[in-house]
Structures are given as C-alpha cells and as structure tokens.
Amino acid sequence: MQFLRTVFWVVLAVVAVIFSFNNWVIVSVHLWGDLILDSPLPILLLATFLIGLIPGLLLHRATRWNLGRKLDAATRAFGATDTPPPSLPSEQPTTP
C-alpha cells in the first residue's frame, strides 16, 4: 500500500512539473486601483491553492482539537466513577 501511495505522489509531482514548464507565462492580475501584479501562472495557481487550503485546514485542526478535549473529559469522567458495573441477575431455579 505504501508503494502505491508513493507512486501516486510521484506521478502527481511529475504532472505538476510538466504543467509548470508548459505554462510558464507571465500573467498580469489587476488588483485594485492602478496596482498590477505580474506573476508566472504556476506560482499564481499555487498561491491561490494555498490561500484556499488554509481556512479549511485551520477549521479541521480546531475541530479535531475540540473533539479531542471532549473525549479526554469524557474518558476522565468515566474513569472517575468507582461504582462497579451492574451485574446480571443470576438465574434462580424455580421450585414447582
């Protein structure tokens, strides 16, 4: 399984490099006012990908941290009870 994962990431990296070499053109982005950003297309795409990735990644980390805190609190609360678990009633033979 590790081999397939490695092959997948290598193929993805090769495709990204080929795309970058074939599309290395300067793109003008008009921001606001008279401000113009001249940037190579692959760098612009990478920057926009990272800008979109960061909020989702932060939300994921915050949710995971919050759920971990709740799980730890529940584990501590469950472990703090000293009462034994209820036992099942034993079957008593009935006398006719």
Name the strand (E) or helix (H) holding 3. Answer: helix 2-22
Domain extent for 45: 25-54
Task: Classify residue 42: in a domain, yes or no.
Answer: yes
So what's the pLDDT on residue 95? 67
Q: What is the pTM of this model?
A: 0.61
Task: Classify residue 48: in a domain, yes or no.
Answer: yes
Geometric angle at alpha carbon 72, from 71 and 78, rounded to 5°: 90
So what's the pLDDT on residue 93? 65
Mean pLDDT for each 10-residue chunk of the chain (96 residues)?
A: 93 93 91 90 92 96 96 84 67 66
> Structurally, how many domains does the chain consist of?
1
Task: Classify residue 37: in a domain, yes or no.
Answer: yes
> Amino acid letter at 78?
F
Task: Classify residue 87: in a domain, yes or no.
Answer: no
Task: Classify residue 39: in a domain, yes or no.
Answer: yes
So what's the pLDDT on residue 86? 67
Task: Classify residue 29: in a domain, yes or no.
Answer: yes
Tell which residue, 50, 48, 46, 28, has the closest CA to residue 37: 28
So what's the pLDDT on residue 5? 93
Residue 61, token pair as written in the block: 């980390």
d(CA 79, CA 5): 40
